[in-house]
Amino acid sequence: MKRLLLIFLALFCLPGAGFAAEAPELTGSCRFSSDARSTEFSLMTDGSLGTYFPFGDKGRSLEIHCDSPVWGVSVSLFNRYGQPMSYDLEVQTDSGWQKAAEGGEYLVHWHALSEGATALRLVCTSKERLRIAELRLFGPGDRPAEVQDWQTLDKCDLMLLSTHPDDELLWFGGLLPTYAGERGLRVQVAVMVPCGGERQLELLGAVWHCGVRAYPAFLGFVDNNGGSVKGQYSRWRGKERVQRVVTRVIRQYRPEVLVTHGEQGEYGHAAHKTTADVAKTAVELAASAKKFPQSAKEQGTWQVKKLYLHEYEKRPLICDWDQPLSAFGGLTGYEVAEAAFRFHASQVRRDWHFERHGEHDNARFGLYSTTVGNDTGLGDFMEHIPLDSGI
């Protein structure tokens, strides 16, 4: 029981966290009003990522009035279908409403205000109806460690290409806390199947608490099981389309190393198998200017140095996720990943659970392709890869 408590405490002890002057939350003492049809404001303050306040269409506004000045605002958007959503954050001044920030690039935004304000409002600026899953308001001080403040990478060290939200932990164990949280590398998570609004937000919480600071790439494929690799490509509207999308994301983020699912799809899931299959091909396609010339022109070509597959038996690499991580107070990669998995609340309710080793050992990988030579047994994805700096 004591060990479990330490694991949860570590979720809020990530690199760079400052607790001496952490901003207090004011949400519970603020009042809301809106010209939207709904007045169920509790839907965006109930702590549930599966509920949302149906804000409204372009031009609709949500006003916020607080007795104490607000210095920071966290907005989580519920976006089931991946349509563009955007808003302006405005503060009331003596001369009227003034724009202070805008959001919509990410599903979760942190807005630090230059001056405290007791009256604020959000204004929908997109054609797509705005849905707010969670709205949190803070007083003066440091942004709390658990509040997400995402960055966009133009270059990553390691890309984890997973199929669904939760796969990034189930099949890859302590990879994220070890390489992002502990080592501070630029780790880019790319997810083939976003799986709807709630599961996307769950994934953001899980990877943030593993130390990932680069906003994940959601590739937009539909959530289904095609039964076979051929059937999955068909469900995802063709093999060439899937190759084009994955090739583009590789060229966009330029990973030195790419890690993905096993060829057998762990427990046989066709979407997992297809993710591995397209990764093997896209690594080659991304390096050729003749393949998918539009993204080659826009982003350039890119040669991934090493590709690892989960459970690949040739040139094996066994990761040690039992090593204590100083960035997480001495907890191991396994322990941090297990605690982070609890952010996938919808899957926990379905009785999915994180396994330390299990039938499909999430510490067992293999080097499928390399341009920098074979590994020497160090158990390190980044062996032979010169790095500059993390984020």
Same domain, 297 and 361: yes
User: For 47, phi and psi rounded to 5 degrees?
Assistant: 80, 5
The alpha carbon dihedral of 202, 205, 211, 215 has a sign of: positive
Same domain, 336 and 252: yes
Cβ neighbour number for residue 223 with a 10 Å cutoff: 15
Q: Is residue 289 part of a domain?
A: yes
Q: What is d(CA 14, CA 391) in angstroms, rounded to the nearest whole number?
A: 14
Q: Is residue 2 part of a domain?
A: no
Q: Is residue 4 part of a domain?
A: no
Question: Which of helix, strand or coil describes residue 353?
Answer: coil
Same domain, 74 and 220: no
Same domain, 196 and 300: yes
Same domain, 106 and 164: no
Q: What is the CATH number of the domain that holds 44?
A: 2.60.120.260
Q: Is residue 16 part of a domain?
A: no
Same domain, 58 and 172: no
The secondary structure of residue 357, as a DSSP letter, is S
Q: Summarize the confidence of residues 138-148 as an average pLDDT.
A: 97
Q: Would the pLDDT of 35 be above 50?
A: yes
* pLDDT tens digits along 342-361: 999 999 988 888 888 778 99
Q: What is d(CA 327, CA 356) in angstroms, rounded to the nearest whole number?
A: 20
Q: What is the CATH number of the domain that holds 327?
A: 3.40.50.10320
Kind and range of the H or E run holding 232: helix 229-235
Q: Is residue 21 part of a domain?
A: no
Same domain, 31 and 131: yes
Counts for the chain of helices (H) and strands (E), in that order: 11, 14
**pLDDT for residue 391:** 54
Write out the DSSP string of 148-207: ---B--SS-SEEEEESSTTHHHHTTTTHHIIIIIIT---EEEEES----HHHHHHHHHHH
On the CB side of 353, CA atoms within 13 Å amount to: 5
Helix, strand, coil shares, percent, the chain, to 5? 25, 25, 45
* pLDDT tens digits along 316-338: 999 999 999 999 999 999 999 99
pLDDT band at 55 (very low <50, low <70, confident <90, very high): confident
Q: Is residue 7 part of a domain?
A: no
Question: Which of helix, strand or coil describes residue 77?
Answer: strand
The residue range of the domain holding 109 is 26-138
Q: Is residue 145 part of a domain?
A: no
Percent of the chain with pLDDT over 70: 94
* pLDDT tens digits along 220-236: 999 999 999 999 999 99
CA angle 306, 310, 315 (to 5 degrees): 55
**Tally of structural domains, the chain:** 2
Same domain, 83 and 171: no
Same domain, 53 and 117: yes
Among the residue ranges 7-16, 102-111, 207-216, the one predicted with the least confidence is 7-16
The secondary structure of residue 303, as a DSSP letter, is -
Q: Is residue 18 part of a domain?
A: no
Q: Which of 110, 138, 166 is the last residue of a domain?
A: 138
Q: Of 164, 179, 169, 153, which Cα lies nearest the Cα of 257?
A: 179
Same domain, 32 and 81: yes
Same domain, 170 and 268: yes
Q: Which residues of 18-43 are buried (b: 16+ CB within 10 A; e: fewer)?
A: eeeebbebbbeebebebebeeeebeb
* pLDDT tens digits along 73-123: 999 999 988 888 999 999 999 999 999 999 999 999 999 999 999 999 999
Q: Of 318, 326, 324, 226, which Cα lies nearest the Cα of 277?
A: 226
Q: Which of 138, 166, 201 is the last residue of a domain?
A: 138
Q: What is d(CA 98, CA 90) in angstroms, rounded to the nearest whole number?
A: 5
pTM (predicted TM-score): 0.93
Same domain, 331 and 195: yes
